[in-house]
Structure 1
């Protein structure tokens, strides 16, 4: 039945590029006036806005507000989509993971989302991954930073923001371990594209899935005496399965079904690949087909064709696929690095099916050839269509603009903690960073890892260094960052001979790219390596920069960039955070919510 529903939605999408595939709760579904986006000219959108428009400076105003309600609930012994029992699941509107449906918007729409927390004991907050939230830090959804947790047993919060970007993304609880229990979904924002296509297939989330509860898994990740990879404290577990569009077969026995993506012969299709995983990163390929990349994250790029794509946690690729092969069924394959350093699964052959109309329902027979083994590092051949340059003279690589990621074991608790510049980030749930700003109090606790960016700074350039064999998918809130350069990922970072790469740079910074570097909101910090990023300081607020492996985020691998702090009270009403903080402060003292299951460690 799920396949039939998906196919029906695909057929509807072919009729209108702006049709909401999962209808908003508000009855009207409108599209921008004077729409010029057609199958033969996707670069155009509406009058005055096209693929060359810089959405950081100019955004259409549709006048449309779409509303959703997310009611959270909790189920023990949940029978998952592959037929296996999950110890604990957390659901959105009685569904889990990507089955919750898609938020669908047009570029320039406003959205209001009411989150109703009917979990039993967990507070929560919701983050809208990759959304810029210009002058809107209070809706970024980070517990202990931009808000207090939404209390359980009926607590509510309304998130409101403008779709300033277009493309593909996802939403998730920012209590990172709740992602492992199911609190995620997809975002599709219609807008222009750099290539023509006939049919928009919508989103294909590919995510890891764990049968155990996140709390129990995390307890072992946190135990240096029993790591999942011998000799590597803090190493993550293999997932029990990989879900495509919320489903897959049971890899060890009967149960579940493959997801199917339906192609129309002779047509060009757009597909949006999303990795909303807890930990797993992987390479995606399609037997007998290439993919043409037109966007990464929310950044339109010059189109290029490839046989495979590496997706780290939080990353997205919009691709086109030509249905030019014989009518048949073809495997969509996911493969992992053989080292296990950047994720692994107990499912040895995670797959979905690319099915041509008229091919029938049989499984494919050609398994294809696996792509070259991933080195746990991003591809670097992305050229953004809208050019942005970084002043080269700003780069110094001085200690004041570097971030060192290290692993440590607390001698008192014997727990594993990740540190940035020697500090493992902890936050005060009852007093988020924005409350400090509201009270004009700049005495932030040291363990909150706050970095205040000077008001006269136009760009920030940061050298990030990794002293561990585990690569980290790093995500920045409130911005796209520019990737000026990175070290080459080691072939096998878990080898005893693997050593850290020393960062060296010529005085003219010749090894870095400043003219039009790749941009995105999530990228990989290589094993034993370095990464140089830059971002423009034009968005007032407290913006989190963190590893998107859920276990590592809960172990403190984060910093906060405090940006244009004096402007924060001028561009947003900080009083809006108080009702929810009052509700949480009324709940929390009598209901201690323990340990490290916070998404951001709690003081």
Structure 2
């Protein structure tokens, strides 16, 4: 600053102006509508496109830019929104995108402008966050370039590779939350894609270092990824720069991202398979036609053979990827101090009274409020810090500004769950069991919750990311500082599990939200078009915010024993069964006597001899 003060005033103005002009506004106009596509070559179907195209456009900005996305919902029959996954949305949680949390659903024929600054860097993506619609194709990469990254001079070119699962049926046609699916078994995909295609080739030059970004934009299935005879140097995970770490294989759960440096070979004699192996442990059933192992190619020579990879394992669970808990952030951020606020939640899968399978955090399955939670904050005055106004079934957690929060997630389910926290990344300080061959160690035993009195030592510089996987019957522990006032959803990023209610809401510094957030009038206009209230508590009560009568609630659970109606039904079923058995016995005992009388009568009618071949005629005559 002293040197700046000594500069000529005109020069200082020029330099400051030059700094301001580095940041720019990047604008995208999105007309969201239905188009047709056939990415796996097996079936053409409707997908959600943008501006008449699918795959969707990749959003690219530079760190410090302002991003403006003017979205028009031209679907005609579906509501929509956009969540910019991994964006911190500092001061702008109204731009975060999940319907009924930070905005109203955008109904067909309405427009909505997302407008926010991006003061972060790395690999992200965007997707629909309304009515579980992104399996229908509404998802794509979002890249924030950073010319000042510590590894910028180490590579010559970039390559972005998305991986995803693919369904031949529209979400609305899949019987998931249904009595036909009482176990809650997730729909099994029909295929798996890379960059929304299969068997693709990605040209590279020899002896060249590339920055490759991997993004799992799937609705469900995680992927193991490796490139034959090549090694990755991990430099970023979920937007967090890391100290370089070598890896032969990565595992990407739904919503996770990695950026790696890869140096190509000094030869063009052959092409190398980019191998995707679907995490089959997530699938309840596997159709014979489902290709679990898929090959694309790092193409050195278009004329050389493109050979399919051969995966030498009996099960995907035998693969050993790099364990992300071992990554060290390059900024060296130390372990946060002991928490001011600890939250402990447990994942449970089960059924409610209607027989449908749901997902629960601490026995609560998420039910959306009648007013978007952010709008309840803005209209609640000095009651904004009272958790009760946000509704019991959003499972709200009000956080104080700048407090250290520790969240313990125990998993009582036999499946893995990638949980994402909106608005920030977090320190991962404990997880059990580890990745690789031990990841499914607890699958066949009772759940192992986190024990605060008996755990491994927390790392001094913990890994950080925004989506982390809790193992089957295992647990994890995360920490973060509540330094970003806003309303933030915490949920499993398997979209089917979100549909089942595996989510909760953090309301961070609500009194500060009221001071920092300025919601555009257009957003309220969208609510009116959707018929959604914009004021009041979770039950849309504006007169008494503590009266939650009429809030959306979950159904009662299945009874642990027989109800009165069940007892009556059981008694009458037993009586009916006994009566039925009695009639069968009586009928069985009486039938031979009748036949005997009938035979005696036949003997009185005739005594002539009848040939065997004419027995049928005798019976008829009798």
| TM-score (structure 2 length as normaliser) | 0.76
Q: Please, which of 425, 450, 455 is the counterpart of residue 503 of structure 1?
A: 450
State how far apart, in whole Å, the 1-side matches of 2:472 and 2:119 are.
34
Mind listing any 5+ residue stretches in structure 2 that lack a counterpart? 1-13, 535-551, 555-622
State how far apart, in whole Å, the 2-side matches of 1:290 and 1:572 are.
45
User: What secondary structure, in the 3-state scheme, does the structure 1 residue paired with 2:524 have?
Assistant: helix
- Residue 472 (structure 1) aligns with: 417
1:178-257 alignment runs, 5 A limit: 178-191=133-146, 192-195=148-151, 196-217=153-174, 219=175, 221-223=176-178, 226=181, 233-248=183-198
Residues 469-524 of structure 1: per-residue CA shift (max 9 Å, x gap):
111100000011110111105858599833211322337xx624253210001010
Q: 1:563 to 1:215 in 2, by over 3 A?
A: same
- Residue 266 (structure 1) aligns with: 207
- Residue 92 (structure 2) aligns with: 136
State how far apart, in whole Å, the 2-side matches of 1:480 and 1:133 are.
12
How far apart are residue 353 of structure 1 and its match?
A: 0.8
Q: Please, which of 13, 21, 29 is the counterpart of residue 69 of structure 1?
A: 29
State how far apart, in whole Å, the 2-side matches of 1:359 and 1:572 are.
53
1:122 aligns to 2:78 (yes or no): yes
- Residue 402 (structure 1) aligns with: 344
State how far apart, in whole Å, the 2-side matches of 1:342 and 1:262 are.
37
User: What secondary structure, in the 3-state scheme, does the structure 2 residue paired with 1:85 have?
Assistant: coil
State how far apart, in whole Å, the 1-side matches of 2:311 and 2:203 are.
19
- Residue 432 (structure 2) aligns with: 487
How far apart are residue 197 of structure 1 and its match?
A: 3.2
The 8 Å contact of residues 469 and 494 in structure 1, kept in 2 or not, is answered as: no
Larger radius of gyration: 2
State how far apart, in whole Å, the 2-side matches of 1:369 and 1:380 are.
26
How far apart are residue 300 of structure 1 and its match?
A: 0.5
1:317 aligns to 2:274 (yes or no): no
Q: 1:483 to 1:205 in 2, by over 3 A?
A: same
User: What secondary structure, in the 3-state scheme, does the structure 2 residue paired with 1:380 have?
Assistant: helix
State how far apart, in whole Å, the 1-side matches of 2:292 and 2:429 are.
35
How far apart are residue 387 of structure 1 and its match?
A: 2.1
Residues 519-543 of structure 1: per-residue CA shift (max 9 Å, x gap):
0010101111111011111111110
The 8 Å contact of residues 177 and 215 in structure 1, kept in 2 or not, is answered as: no
Q: 1:564 to 1:379 in 2, by over 3 A?
A: same
State how far apart, in whole Å, the 1-side matches of 2:336 and 2:195 are.
42
1:291 aligns to 2:232 (yes or no): yes
- Residue 83 (structure 1) aligns with: 41
How far apart are residue 225 of structure 1 and its match?
A: 5.6
1:282 aligns to 2:282 (yes or no): no
Q: Please, which of 510, 527, 541 is the counterpart of residue 581 of structure 1?
A: 527
The 8 Å contact of residues 172 and 179 in structure 1, kept in 2 or not, is answered as: yes
How far apart are residue 432 of structure 1 and its match?
A: 0.4
State how far apart, in whole Å, the 1-side matches of 2:99 and 2:553 are.
10
State how far apart, in whole Å, the 1-side matches of 2:347 and 2:102 are.
24
- Residue 26 (structure 1) aligns with: none
How far apart are residue 87 of structure 1 and its match?
A: 4.5
How far apart are residue 88 of structure 1 and its match?
A: 3.6
Q: 1:464 to 1:261 in 2, by over 3 A?
A: same
Task: Point out the more displaced range, 331-340 or 361-370.
Answer: 361-370
State how far apart, in whole Å, the 2-side matches of 1:496 and 1:530 are.
12
How far apart are residue 157 of structure 1 and its match?
A: 0.3
The 8 Å contact of residues 324 and 463 in structure 2, kept in 1 or not, is answered as: no
1:439 aligns to 2:379 (yes or no): yes
User: What secondary structure, in the 3-state scheme, does the structure 1 residue paired with 2:326 have?
Assistant: coil
Q: 1:61 to 1:273 in 2, by over 3 A?
A: farther
Q: Please, which of 459, 478, 497 is the counterpart of residue 533 of structure 1?
A: 478
Q: 1:582 to 1:271 in 2, by over 3 A?
A: same
How far apart are residue 563 of structure 1 and its match?
A: 0.4
How far apart are residue 234 of structure 1 and its match?
A: 2.1
Q: 1:86 to 1:343 in 2, by over 3 A?
A: farther
The 8 Å contact of residues 157 and 210 in structure 2, kept in 1 or not, is answered as: yes
The 8 Å contact of residues 236 and 343 in structure 1, kept in 2 or not, is answered as: no
Q: Please, which of 530, 546, 569 is the counterpart of residue 514 of structure 2?
A: 569
State how far apart, in whole Å, the 2-side matches of 1:420 and 1:289 are.
41
C-alpha root-mean-square deviation of aligned residues, in Å?
A: 2.9
| Aligned length in residues | 506
State how far apart, in whole Å, the 2-side matches of 1:342 and 1:530 are.
22
State how far apart, in whole Å, the 2-side matches of 1:107 and 1:496 are.
42
How far apart are residue 70 of structure 1 and its match?
A: 1.3
Mind listing any 5+ residue stretches in structure 1 that lack a counterpart? 1-32, 35-46, 49-59, 228-232, 249-257, 589-600
Q: 1:337 to 1:183 in 2, by over 3 A?
A: closer
Residues 95-119 of structure 1: per-residue CA shift (max 9 Å, x gap):
33xx212111111111100111011
User: What secondary structure, in the 3-state scheme, does the structure 1 residue paired with 2:281 have?
Assistant: coil
Structure 1 segments (4+ residues) deviating >6 Å: 342-345
State how far apart, in whole Å, the 2-side matches of 1:343 and 1:361 are.
37
State how far apart, in whole Å, the 2-side matches of 1:360 and 1:483 are.
46
How far apart are residue 94 of structure 1 and its match?
A: 2.0
How far apart are residue 551 of structure 1 and its match?
A: 0.5
The 8 Å contact of residues 250 and 322 in structure 2, kept in 1 or not, is answered as: no
The 8 Å contact of residues 209 and 243 in structure 1, kept in 2 or not, is answered as: yes
State how far apart, in whole Å, the 1-side matches of 2:191 and 2:71 are.
28
- Residue 357 (structure 2) aligns with: 416
How far apart are residue 347 of structure 1 and its match?
A: 1.5
How far apart are residue 82 of structure 1 and its match?
A: 2.3
User: What secondary structure, in the 3-state scheme, does the structure 1 residue paired with 2:154 have?
Assistant: coil
| TM-score (structure 1 length as normaliser) | 0.78
